[in-house]
Structure 1
Amino acid sequence: MALGSLALLTSGIVTLSRCYNECVMGLFKQTIEIGASPTGPFRSIEAVVDTGASYTQVPRSILEGLGIKATEQAEFTLADGRSVARGLAEAYVRLDGKIRATLCIVGDDRAEALLGAYTLEGFGLTVDPVNKRLVPTKLFLLTYVLSMRRGRR
């Protein structure tokens, strides 16, 4: 496969070729824990950190094993422009001792687990692609700026 060419995974998620991801993009995996409630139980999984994915994706069998089921369907646009419907479920993610509620795409059982942008933002994390790790990000609150523009303090 040529550098930068696209490959369609059986899960319906389109990603760049392995060489492009590993050599150029700094793709890496992160251990996260998934649970149905903030008190657990949790299941540990390895997820590819994917800031291009709107939500975290977890294989259906893992979610169902924890008692987590899709509560709605959503349309997702793939990199090749096609649209696919996938289930969305509410779950809890534990990462570095912190627990956050998040939305998960219910992936096919062959789908690779993905740690998506919504979950990363919920934890206040961003990607350091050079060192292949998650790092805290600067958080913003624009309410004060907007209030100042309106003459409020």
Structure 2
Amino acid sequence: MGFVRVRVGVFNPAVPDKAMEIDGIVDTGAIYTVIRRDILEGLSIKPSGRRRFKAFGGYVERDIGEAGLMIMGERRIVPVIFGETEDTMVIGITALEIFGLEVDPVRGSLKEAELLLL
């Protein structure tokens, strides 16, 4: 199966009426969502900290924060990594879990997950 491509709305939780639509991919192997810094800063979203991540055969440091996402008509606040200019927008598994979504490998799309209350 190839990548699952999605169109996602991104918004500042403090100003939810102003949103930007961007294209990205779903990566169930990624924990966090990555959105380019220029997009987040354009929405006045500021970093809340900085973390070290294993990537590209070594380690990188990136700013982290929270952003609002709109996927399949739903709005949620998710943790995000402030990506660099060359970084692809990635929806990670944490965002999928917050939205209650999963990948449908047959259709190559997102679908509502069967949620377990355990």
Runs of 4+ in 1 over 3 A off after TM superposition: none
TM-score scaled by length of structure 2: 0.91
Task: Give the structure 1 partner of residue 24 of structure 2.
Answer: 47
Q: Which of 70, 94, 118 is the equivalent residue of 2:47?
A: 70
Asked which structure has the greater RCO (Cα within 8 Å, sep 6+), the reply is 2
Preserved CA contact (<8 Å) 1:57 1:107: yes
Task: Give the structure 2 partner of residue 113 of structure 1.
Answer: 89
Identity of aligned residues (%): 35
Quote the Cα distance in structure 2 between the aligned partners of 1:119 and 1:43: 17
TM-score scaled by length of structure 1: 0.71
Query: What are the ranges of 5 or more consecutive residues in structure 2 without an aligned counterpart?
Result: none
Preserved CA contact (<8 Å) 1:55 1:117: yes
| Structure that is richer in strand per residue | 2
Quote the Cα distance in structure 1 between the aligned partners of 2:41 and 2:16: 17
Task: Give the structure 1 partner of residue 102 of structure 2.
Answer: 126
Quote the Cα distance in structure 1 between the aligned partners of 2:31 and 2:82: 13
Q: Deviations over 1:3-54 (max 9, x none)?
A: xxxxxxxxxxxxxxxxxxxxxx321210000000272311000011111111
Number of aligned positions between the proteins = 117
What amino acid sits opposite 2:37 in the alignment?
R
Please tell me whether residue 99 in structure 1 is matched to residue 75 in structure 2. Answer: yes
What amino acid sits opposite 1:27 in the alignment?
F
Quote the Cα distance in structure 2 between the aligned partners of 1:52 and 1:113: 14
1:78–1:121 distance in 2 versus 1, CA, 3 Å: same
